[in-house]
Amino acid sequence: MNRRNFLLSGAAVAAVGGFYLAKPSSVDAVAGEDGFEISYTEARWRDMLSPDQYAVLRQEATERPYTSPLLNEKRQGTYNCAGCQLPLYASETKFDSGTGWPSFYEALPDAVETERDFKLILPRTEVHCRRCGGHLGHVFNDGPPPTGLRHCINGVAMTFEAA
């Protein structure tokens, strides 16, 4: 194979890949395409969520500490995913960690999933909604009994439903 054929072959492969990536999607809700029960196109997520919610839930950003109204929420109720409204945390498991983010010692059953996160070099455990994959925050091993865990959750990633 000479250099010209090699370059032409590479260009053809790149063009086919570019056409695939540029292909517009007419489907708005795509169940399970990314491995989650609820999945939307990025355009639909942007329409559904506020800019801050989108940044946290879909781009794994972190809200500034002490800015969430849910930090001081004291009523009985449930904290739900802002992306899909799945109940995530019961108010009974909330505690004041002094960190500036809503903190919980335990999630509701089958509500969240975790995975290792090396974005800050040192490993952390990321928490995300098991139904839509939205990034919620991180879990640490410095929480109160009975679990010893601190689910440090971005308030903007949740909504609150009073009991």
Q: Are 130 and 32 in contact (CB under 8 A)?
A: no
Element (H or E) spanning 59, and its range? helix 51-59
**Of 108, 102, 94, the residue nearest 136 (C-alpha):** 102
Cβ-proximal residues to 129 (8 Å cutoff; 6+ apart), any chain: 57, 81, 83, 84, 86, 88, 111, 112, 113, 136
Tens of pLDDT, residues 21-79: 333 333 333 444 567 899 999 999 999 999 999 999 999 999 999 999 999 999 999 99
Residue 19: the pLDDT is 32
Comparing 34-43, 105-114, 124-133, which segment has the lowest mean pLDDT?
34-43
Percent of the chain with pLDDT strictly greater than 90: 71
Mean pLDDT of the chain: 83
Confidence of residue 124 (pLDDT cuts 50, 70, 90): confident
Q: What 3-state DSSP class applies to 156?
A: helix
pLDDT at 28: 38
14 pLDDT band, cuts 50/70/90, is very low
- Chain centroid to CA 73: 21
- C-alpha gyration radius of the chain: 20
C-beta of residue 113 within 8 angstroms of C-beta of residue 128 = yes
pLDDT of residue 21: 32
Task: Tell me how crowded residue 18 is: count the other CB atoms within 10 A of its CB.
Answer: 10
**What is the enclosing helix (H) or strand (E) of 90?**
strand 87-90
Higher confidence at residue 111 or residue 10?
111
pTM: 0.77
Residue 22: burial class (beta carbons within 10 Å; 0-12, 13-18, 19+): exposed
Element (H, E) at 11: helix 3-22
Catalytic residue numbers, as ranges:
152
pLDDT at position 120 is 64
